[in-house]
Each structure stands twice: as C-alpha cells, then as structure tokens.
A and B are shown apart, each in its own frame.
Chain A
Amino acid sequence: MRLTKLIAATAVATACAVGPALAELVVPLLSYRTGPYAPSGIPYADGYTDYFTLLNERDGGINGEPVRLVECETGYNTEKGVECYESTKGEGALVYHPLSTGITYQLIPKATADGIPVHSMGYGRTSAADGTVFEWIFNYPGTYWDAASIIVKHILDEEGGDLNGKKLALIYHNSAYGKEPIRTLEELAKKHGYELTLLPVDHPGQEQKSQWLQIRRDRPDYVIMWGWGVMNAVAVQEAANIRYPMDHFIGVWWSGSENDVMPAGQGADGYKSIAFHAPGSDFPLYDDLKKHVYDAGKAAGAGDQIGSVLYNRGMYAAITIAEGIRKAQEIHDTKELTPAQMRDGLENSVISEERWAELGLPGFAPAVEVSCANHGGPGLGAIQQWNASEKTWTLITDFVGSDREVVDPLIKEDSAAYAQEAGITPRSCDS
C-alpha cells in the first residue's frame, strides 16, 4: 500500500514538474548548403528558415503553436534526399519541400503511401497538379508547363503575335528536371508554327562550348533555358561570349537568380527569366524580419542573402506552408496537426492579394488558390530582366496565365498514365 502511494505520489510530482507537453508543428527542411549546388541551396534555405524564425519570435509560432524546423542536408543528391525523408518523417513531419525534382519523383510514391503531403513548389512532376490522381502531392503556384507556356506567350508578345517560321532553341539540364518542358514546347510549336531545337547539357554543365557553337550556327530567334546550378552561369557567359542578344535569352524560374548572372558581369545585361514572385527586399515584411530576426542575431546562414531571388523563393515556400497550417487549423479546429490534416490545409489554401498585403508583402506575388482537383495553383508568371549596372532584377511584365488549352490536356494525359501505372483510381472532386 505504501509502495502504491509512493508510486502515485511520484507520478503526480513528475507530471507537475514537467507540465503539459508543448505541441510543435514539425516542418522538415531538405536543404543543400554543401556541394556543387550550394550557392542556390543556401539562399533558399535561409529565406525558408528566417520566415519561420520570424513567426516563432514575433507571434510565438502559428496560432500559438511553435514551428520546429528539422533541417537535413541532401547535397541535391536524390539518394541523400530519400534518406533525409526516411530519417525525419518519424518526428511528426507535416509536409515536405524536397527542393529537387529528382527527390520529388522518388518521394511521390513513398509519401503517398505514408500519408504525408509533399509540396514541390514550381518543380517536380508537372502532372502532380492533377489533385484527383496526386492526392498528397502539390506543386502550386505553377508548374514547369505553365512556365514554358508563359515564356512562349512572352515571345509571342515580342514578335507581334506570330511565331510562324521562327526558331526557338531549348538548352536544358539533361535530367528529369530539364526534360520537363519539352512536351509542352513541342505542342506549342505545333500550335504556333515555330521550329524547336533541343540542346541537352550534361551535369553539371561546366562545359557548353558545343551547344553554343550550334546556337551560333543555327541562330535561333530565341533561346529558352531550363538549367540549375553552374549550368546557368556558364550558359549566360557563353551567350554573352557569342554576342547572342540577351533579351532573347529567357530562363525558367530556376535559371533566374543573381548567382546565374553575376559571374558574367556586364555581359549578362538584359537576360530574362520567368518568375512567380517579385525580387528584392522592398516590402514591409522585411522591417519585421530586421527587427525580430536579423538584428536579434537569429538570421539563418551568414545573413548575406537577404532579398536575393532565391531567398525570396525560400520565404515564399515557407509562407505557403504557414498558410497551409493556418487553414488546416481552421478546418479541423485544432492547433496540433497531423500530416493528413495538413494535406487538407494545403488543398484549401487561399492567399489572396489582400492576404499577401497583410503578410507584409503587397504586390509580391499574385493570389494563390488551391483546390481538390487543382494542386498546381493559378499557374501565373511574369518576366523579369537583369540590369547588370544596377545589379537588380526587375519585373517587366504583369503576371499572366499559361495557355490552359494546351497545358491542361497534357496534365490530364500524363496523370492518367501515372494513375494506370501506379494502380490509382482517381478520386472525385465534384462534391
């Protein structure tokens, strides 16, 4: 009896001493701060981390629940990325941002089976935009096919709406990522009558002399680039070397950061890329970041990437997660979330223009709305251009949509093929 009392007293005392367990919102960050792709991985990871640090420091988390980031180094290596996923999912991970198309492809079946959402924001498998097949995968606010279509739309605008007989070349990273836009560009070639030349570049893309000699010989009217890492910088340098008109050279949103143009110096002036958010740090949110994160000595990394394109991209990614968490908390009326509830939050995410302004980012990006059937979001993009003298990117067009007439059937076709291959019965989103 005495022993029982002693045990009971000890249990009560322990419970009182520890207090109620503090729930956390666990968000993994698969980053690459080392290796050949580190210059691109670091600013993204810093922006992502700094935003969550701001939420924790300023607001005590999201609706009072602190966010715990679990960072895992992938080195942009697919095997390591999968290891990171396996080693962190047990910590209660709510959602994954793989930051690599290769890793995303590997995680699609795994995360689907585990019931953990994956948000491959503007990368990964394009047809994951079809929410009826890819229930756990999201790629909003836009897909590679949206990007390809918007770039062609911009070229159409530049050419007075007629591309008949024009020559377009695609120089691309010879990987799953680089090959993504080919199908769309081929379909658009049929529609608009341009001739498409494909120029693959092997990893890592340090040597591209042959490709640029071909461009010099064939003289395409426009060159589109789907590159990453050192490939981008070398391509911009080679284009400048052969005196290719830089305003006719347009990269995808992963080929449009400061890293890609700075090494070429003045030669990169006029180079364009598509973007799904604005560059720079001229937004009220940065005042909060300065007060609660930078000046408090809590900035991620060296604190030297603030306002760069990829820093803003990482911040954008963190915002999509944070807003997804808020929506999930609202839908399920709970502050502690499960991955399944998080999935619901992402699927019902709405970031209106007013909400962007409330977040301290007015005009930063167009409104985003995700739905059961549409995991790809609005698919809007604008063209930005590099000014080498001022070392700044500037948006030179409005955010416009892609050619849904071409893109949507391609998404349906590819997702149907995946559903058949994976034995998935597409769900209904009618209700």
Chain B
Amino acid sequence: MSVAMLNLTEVVLNGLMAGIMYALVALGFVLIFKASGIFNFAQGVMALFAALTLVGLQTGQVPFAHLINAIFGTNIHHFGWTLPAFLAVILTLCVMVAFAWAFEALVLKHLVNQEPIILFMATIGLAYFLEGFGDLLWGADIKAINLGIPSGGSFWWEDVTREWAPEGSDYWGMYIDKLDVVATVVAIVLVTSLTLFAQYTRMGRALRAVADDHQAALSVGISLRTIWVVVWSIAGFVALVAGVMWGAKSGVQFSLSLIALKALPVLILGGFTSIPGAIVGGLIIGVGEKVAEFYIGPLVGGAIENWFAYVVALVFLLFRPQGLFGERIIERV
C-alpha cells in the first residue's frame, strides 16, 4: 500500500474513533430527548460534574473544602485516603442517580405539560447551576483522572502497519490512540446494553412506551415521574462515561462542559431520537472533519474541522430534516 493511502487510512481510522467520542456525548442527549422531548442543554455540564465527582471521591477530596475553610478558618482539603477506581465509579453513579431524583422532584415535576421551550430553559438553568455547584463542591483546579485506562499510541499497531508500506519508504507506522480504542469498546458495550435494556426489560419497555406517546403510557399506569428519574439516571451514567473518556485526554477541567458543542452536529445528522443515529452520526462527523482538516485544512489556513462538521450536518438537514435515523415528521391536520 502506498504511503499516501496509509496516511488516508490513518486519518479515517482516527476520525472514526473521534466520532465515537462525540457519539458518547450525543447519546446522553438522545436518551433524554427520546424519553421526554427535552433538549438537555446541561448534558455537557453533567459530563463535567460526573467526572469531577469521580476524581473527587477517588482521591478523597473534602467536598466544599473551600467553603468550609473560609467559614471555619480551617485548612482541610483531603481525607487522606484513596478509593479503588471501581468503588469510586459506583459511588459516582449513586451521586448521579441522586442528582436525577432531585432534579425530577425539584424541577421537572413542577413543569409537567409545559411547552418544550420551558423545559429547555430549565436545562439551561440546570447547566449553570451544576457548573457553579461543581466548582463549589470540588474546586476549579485541573484534576488528573486515574482509572488505569491505557492511553498513548499503540506500538504494536505501528509495527504491524509499518510492514504495509512499500520497502524503503520512510514510514513510521499507523497511529492509533489506545484511549480511543477503549472508548470504542465502551461505546459498543454501552449501546448494546442500552438496546437490550430497552427491548427486554419491563422498565425498558415502559421507557419506549413513554417515548412513543406520553398520554397513552400514562393511561396504562406507567409513572412518568419514575421514568424521568430512570432516564436522567441513565443519561447521568452516559455523562460519566463521556466525562471519563474526555477527561483522560485533557484532565478534568471546566472546559469539559464544552464537549457538548461536539455533539450538536452529530445530533443534527443522526437525529435526536435514535441511538444508532448518534453512533453513525458521530462516525460520519468524525471522519468528515478529520479528512477535511488533514487534506483541505492546510490549503485554506487550517482550523476548519469545527465549522466543517456543522456544514456536513446542515447538508444532511436539507435532505433529511429529521436526521438519518430520526422519526419521520408527519403532521396530520
């Protein structure tokens, strides 16, 4: 294989894997939108909050340490213990479930039957609250995440692919980040689990019933409030996965909330109501923007991948407004 072709393959592979990372964020949006018709503006901040909580719990950070020290004149920051990663993940999940329950009880319950725009605005408020609360709870400093997830280029893959280049060519081998491979495996497991959950469990069927028709689901005795708590809990879990994967790249810091921007073109392309759509949308956006940045970028001054993703999404929007896998919009008079 020629070096140019190997380079193209490398860019496409890395684009696919970046797409998986975007899809991880988009999944959280899809789950909530599908079940409740709410576009959750706070999904990115939820990923940040989950990752902050995970690192805080794992490293034995004292919650509200800054506040406690300011009020009582103390100087405490850590409990002095470190939790095993598995236990920290479980505890973080408990926090996200508690968060889902509290948000339902304090906000959503009071907004039943309100217009979608009102619910959307509630999530804007939630985003800002959660960001400030996360800051107060765990502090704004950058935290390194340590769950033992492998990262860095794979030497094995480099060695294998180096053999594919023509003899005598100065080719280093193909680059793949081990973290991206882990993210891909996690995404596959996540989507499979969510699909099985939705298809084969009683709660999953209830979720689908609510997604199809709120009123009909209520009429057969499905509790909308319970469903909302479950859906927001699952979205919290997905946010944790996304937060961990993105946080492993850059450290857990407040810009993590901006990863939501990467999910928007994926949602436009894949549709707001389809889990496979989020994955396929992510893959198309990932490959599209990476190929564009790598091959077209240098010709036009670079930094085109952000807006290029939105251009791709807009083109799809013109032909399929509901997205690739979204439900067809049929208005009956």
Contacts and interface: CB of A to CB of B under 8 A. Distances in A.
Interface of A: 33-39, 42, 174, 198-202, 204, 206-207, 209-211, 213-214, 216-217, 229-230, 233-234, 237, 240-243, 259, 262-263, 265, 267, 297, 301-304
Interface in B221-259: 246, 249-251, 253-259
B139 to A, nearest CB: 6
A209 to B, nearest CB: 5
B140 A39 contact: yes
A36 B253 contact: yes
Nearest to A32: B140
B166 interface: no
Interface stretch (B118-126, B198-206, B300-308, B315-323): B300-308
Interface string B77-117: 10000000000000000000000000000000000000000
A267 B290 CA distance: 25
Contacts, number: 123
A229 B11 CA distance: 26
Contact of A206 (B144, B258, B294): B258
A205 to B, nearest CB: 8
A202 B305 contact: yes
B246 A259 contact: no
B157 interface: no
B14, B141, B250, B253: which has the most chain A beta carbons within 10 Å?
B250
Contacts of A242: 153, 175
A383 B330 CA distance: 64
Contacts of A199: 302
Given A259-B253, A301-B66, 17 more contacts: A35-B254, A36-B255, A38-B254, A39-B140, A202-B306, A206-B249, A206-B258, A209-B15, A210-B297, A233-B142, A233-B251, A237-B249, A262-B144, A265-B144, A303-B75, A304-B139, A304-B141
Q: Is the interface of B mostly helix, strand, loop or mixed?
A: helix
A29 B257 CA distance: 26
B254 A234 contact: no
B255 A204 contact: yes
A133 B77 CA distance: 49
B153 to A, nearest CB: 5
Interface string B257-272: 1110010000000000
A263 B257 contact: no
Nearest to A178: B303
B11 A213 contact: yes
Given A36-B254, A262-B144, A267 B297 contact: no
Contact of A209 (B18, B73, B131, B301): B18
B3 to A, nearest CB: 9
A34 B135 contact: yes
Nearest to A171: B302
Contacts of B293: 210-211
Closest 6 CB pairs of A and B: A263-B251, A36-B255, A210-B293, A200-B303, A230-B255, A38-B140
Contacts of B301: 198, 200
Nearest to A38: B140
7 contacts: A37-B255, A200-B301, A202-B305, A204-B255, A214-B294, A233-B250, A243-B153
Contact of A241 (B135, B177, B302): B177
A241 B250 contact: no
Interface string B276-315: 0000000000000110011001100111011000000000
A301 B136 CA distance: 12
Nearest to A174: B303
Nearest to B140: A38
Contacts of B141: 39, 42, 259, 304
Contacts of B256: 206
A302 B66 contact: yes
A302 B258 contact: no
B195 interface: no
A38 B153 CA distance: 30
A243 B177 CA distance: 11
Nearest to B11: A213
A21 B92 CA distance: 55
A304 B77 CA distance: 9
Contacts of A213: 10-11, 14, 175, 290, 294
A283 B136 CA distance: 32
A264 B75 CA distance: 28
Contacts of B18: 207, 209
A34 B132 contact: yes
Contacts of A237: 151, 249-250
Contacts of B129: none
A216 B132 CA distance: 39
B156 interface: no
A241 B250 CA distance: 12
B165 interface: no
Given A174-B303, A302-B69, A36 B142 contact: no
Given A33-B140, A206-B259, A217-B7, A297 B73 contact: yes
B152 A206 contact: no
Contacts of A202: 303, 305-306
A209 B297 CA distance: 13
Contacts of B297: 210
